[in-house]
Amino acid sequence: MAGGISTALGAKSVRSGQKVNGATQESPWVRRLIIGTGLFYFALFLLLPLGSVFVEAFRKGLDVYLAALMDPDALSAIKLTLIVAVISVPLNLVFGVAAAWAITKFNFPGKRILITMIDLPFSVSPVIAGLIFVLVFGAQGWFGSWFLDNDVKIIFAIPGILLATIFVTFPFVARELIPLMEAQGKEEEEAAIVLGARGWQVFRFVTLPNILWGVIYGVVLCNARAMGEFGAVSVVSGHIRGETNSMPLHVEILYNEYNFAAAFAVASLLAILALLTLLIKTFVEWKAAKVNSELKEG
Amino acid sequence: MSKPLFKRSVIPGFGVTLGFTLAYLGLIVLIPLSAVIWKTSDLTLLQFWQTISEPRVVASLKLSFGASLIAATVNAFFGLILAWALVRYSFPGKKIVDTLVDLPFALPTAVAGIALTAIYAKNGWLGQYLEPLGIKIAFTPIGIMIALIFIGLPFVVRTVQPVLEDLDKEIEEAAASLGANRAQTVFKVVLPIILPALLTGFALAFARAVGEYGSVIFIAGNLPMVSEIAPLMIITKLEQYDYSGATSIAVVMLFLSFILLLIVNSLQAWTAKRTGREV
Amino acid sequence: MSIQVNSIYKSFGDFKALDNVSLEFPTGKLVALLGPSGCGKTTLLRIIAGLETADSGQVILDGQDASDRHVRERQVGFVFQHYALFKHMTVFENVAFGLRVKPRRERPSEAVIKKKVHDLLALVQLDWLADRFPSQLSGGQRQRIALARALAVEPKVLLLDEPFGALDAKVRKELRRWLRRLHDEIHVTSIFVTHDQEEALEVADEVVLMNQGKVEQVGTPDQVYDKPATPFVYSFLGSVNLFHGRVDGEVVHVGPHQLVHGGSTVADGSSVVAFARPHELTISKDPESLGVYAVIERVLTFGATSRIELIGLDINEEKTSQNYEVELTRLEVASLNVAEGDHVYLVPKKLSVFEHKGTAA
| Of the candidates B41, B58, B162, B147, the residue with the CA atom closest to the CA atom of residue B104 | B147
Helix (H) or strand (E) holding C270: none
Backbone angles phi, psi at C217, to 5 degrees: -160, 145
Q: Which of A134-143, A233-242, B232-241, C68-77 shows the highest mean pLDDT?
A: B232-241
The residues, any chain, with a CB within 8 Å of residue B179's CB and separated by 6 or more, are C72, C98, C101, C102, C153
| Of the candidates C98, A30, C107, the residue with the CA atom closest to the CA atom of residue B175 | C98
In this prediction, residue A293 carries a pLDDT of 76
Burial of A153 (0-12, 13-18, 19+ CB in 10 A): middle
The residues, any chain, with a CB within 8 Å of residue C159's CB and separated by 6 or more, are C45, C48, C49, C76, C77, C78, C79, C190, C191, C192
In this prediction, residue C165 carries a pLDDT of 81
Using alpha carbons, list the distances in angstroms from residue C23 to B41, C2, C157: 83, 11, 15
> What ipTM was predicted for this assembly?
0.87
In this prediction, residue A103 carries a pLDDT of 92
In this prediction, residue A13 carries a pLDDT of 31
Those residues of chain A whose CB sits closer than 8 Å to some CB in chain C are 2, 5-7, 9-10, 12-13, 16, 18, 21-23
Higher pLDDT, C356 or C94: C94
Buried b (16+ CB within 10 A) or exposed e, A36-61: ebbbebbebbbebbbebbbebbeebe
The residues, any chain, with a CB within 8 Å of residue B106's CB and separated by 6 or more, are A221, A224, A228, A273, A274, A275, A277, A278, A281
Question: Would the pLDDT of A39 be above 90?
Answer: yes
Give C297-343 pLDDT, tens digit per residue.
Answer: 998 888 888 899 999 888 888 888 888 999 988 888 888 888 888 88
Query: B171 and C86: CB-CB below 8 Å?
Result: yes
Q: Where are the alpha helices (DSSP H) in chain C?
A: 41-49, 91-100, 110-123, 139-152, 169-186, 197-203, 221-226, 231-236, 330-336
Mean pLDDT computed over every residue of chain B: 87
Q: Which of residues 41-60 of B touch A (CB under 8 A)?
A: none
Residue A117, min C-alpha distance to chain C (Å): 31
Q: Where are the alpha helices (DSSP H) in C124-220?
A: 139-152, 169-186, 197-203
- Please state which of the ranges A137-146, C172-181, C287-296 shows the lowest mean pLDDT: A137-146
* CB-CB neighbours of C87 under 10 Å: 17
B108 touching A, CB under 8 A? Answer: yes
In this prediction, residue B277 carries a pLDDT of 47
Q: Given pLDDT bands bounded at 50, 70 and 90, which one contains residue A23?
A: low
Shortest CB distance from C51 goes to which of A2, A13, A21?
A: A21
- Please state which of the ranges A233-242, B17-26, C101-110 shows the lowest mean pLDDT: A233-242
| Of the candidates C135, B108, B35, C124, the residue with the CA atom closest to the CA atom of residue A277 | B108
Written as one letter, the residue type at B148 is L
Alpha-carbon Rg for chain C in angstroms: 25
- Give dist(CA B144, CA B155) in Å, integer: 18
Question: Would the pLDDT of A7 be above 70?
Answer: no
- Give dist(CA A33, CA C62) in Å, integer: 38
Higher pLDDT, A139 or A224: A224
- Per residue, the 3-state secondary structure of C76-93, as one string, reads EEEECCCCCCCCCCCHHH
Those residues of chain C whose CB sits closer than 8 Å to some CB in chain B are 49-51, 70-72, 76-78, 80-82, 84-88, 97-98, 100-102, 135, 149-150, 152-153
- Give dist(CA C356, CA C345) in Å, integer: 24
Query: A22 and C53: CB-CB below 8 Å?
Result: yes
Among all residues of chain C, which has the CA nearest to that of B187?
Answer: C101
- Give dist(CA A245, CA A251) in Å, integer: 9
Give C199-219 pLDDT, tens digit per residue.
Answer: 899 899 999 999 999 999 999
Query: B179 and C72: CB-CB below 8 Å?
Result: yes
Q: Given pLDDT bands bounded at 50, 70 and 90, which one contains residue A295?
A: low
**Coil vs helix vs strand at C271:** strand
Residue A10, min C-alpha distance to chain C (Å): 5
Chain B residues with beta carbon closer than 8 angstroms to that of C50: 177
Residue B62, min C-alpha distance to chain A (Å): 16
| Of the candidates B96, B89, B156, the residue with the CA atom closest to the CA atom of residue A30 | B89
Strand order through the sheet with C241-248: C257-260, C251-254, C241-248, C271-276, C352-355
Beta bridge partners of C19: C9
Query: B179 and C153: CB-CB below 8 Å?
Result: yes
Q: Which of residues 45-104 of C touch A (CB under 8 A)?
A: 50-58, 65, 67-68, 70-72
- The DSSP 8-state label assigned to residue A206 in this structure reads I
Shortest CB distance from B247 goes to which of A24, A125, A135?
A: A135
Beta bridge partners of C283: C346
pLDDT (mean) for A257-285: 92
Q: Given pLDDT bands bounded at 50, 70 and 90, which one contains residue B19?
A: very high
Shortest CB distance from B192 goes to which of C88, C101, C150?
A: C88
Q: Given pLDDT bands bounded at 50, 70 and 90, which one contains residue C115?
A: very high
Burial of A20 (0-12, 13-18, 19+ CB in 10 A): middle
Q: Given pLDDT bands bounded at 50, 70 and 90, which one contains residue C109?
A: very high
In this prediction, residue B59 carries a pLDDT of 94
Using alpha carbons, list the distances in angstroms from residue C336 to B240, C286, C333: 110, 11, 5
Higher pLDDT, C270 or A76: A76
Query: C67 and A21: CB-CB below 8 Å?
Result: no
Percent of chain A residues topping a pLDDT of 70: 91
Contact between B29 and B229 (Cβ < 8 Å) = no
- Give dist(CA C249, CA C87) in Å, integer: 64
Chain A residues with beta carbon closer than 8 angstroms to that of C50: 22-23
In this prediction, residue C245 carries a pLDDT of 87
Contact between C86 and B276 (Cβ < 8 Å) = no
Percent of chain C residues topping a pLDDT of 90: 38
- Give dist(CA A21, CA A12) in Å, integer: 12
Query: B188 and C97: CB-CB below 8 Å?
Result: yes
- Give dist(CA C55, CA C38) in Å, integer: 18
Give A141-163 pLDDT, tens digit per residue.
Answer: 777 777 777 777 888 888 999 99
Question: Would the pLDDT of A15 be above 50?
Answer: no
Residue A2, min C-alpha distance to chain C (Å): 8
For helices C110-123 and C169-186, give the axis angle rounded to 10 degrees. Answer: 120
First to last CA, chain B: 33
Mean pLDDT computed over every residue of chain C: 88
Helix (H) or strand (E) holding C310: strand C305-313
Written as one letter, the residue type at A71 is D
Shortest CB distance from A6 goes to which of C51, C57, C70?
A: C57
Question: Would the pLDDT of C181 be above 60?
Answer: yes
Mean pLDDT computed over every residue of chain A: 85
Higher pLDDT, A195 or C358: A195
In this prediction, residue B1 carries a pLDDT of 40
Query: B78 and A39: CB-CB below 8 Å?
Result: no
Subunits with 3+ C-beta pairs closer than 8 A to A: B, C
In this prediction, residue A18 carries a pLDDT of 35
Question: Would the pLDDT of A124 be above 80?
Answer: yes
- The DSSP 8-state label assigned to residue C227 in this structure reads S
Higher pLDDT, C135 or A268: A268
The residues, any chain, with a CB within 8 Å of residue C171's CB and separated by 6 or more, are C138, C139, C140, C164
Backbone angles phi, psi at B250, to 5 degrees: -60, -40
Give B191-229 pLDDT, tens digit per residue.
Answer: 998 888 898 899 889 989 999 999 999 999 888 888 899
Beta bridge partners of C353: C274
Question: Would the pLDDT of A14 be above 70?
Answer: no
pLDDT (mean) for B151-169: 91
B114 touching A, CB under 8 A? Answer: yes
- Give dist(CA B34, CA B29) in Å, integer: 9
Beta bridge partners of C24: C4
C6 touching A, CB under 8 A? Answer: yes
Q: Given pLDDT bands bounded at 50, 70 and 90, which one contains residue C95?
A: very high
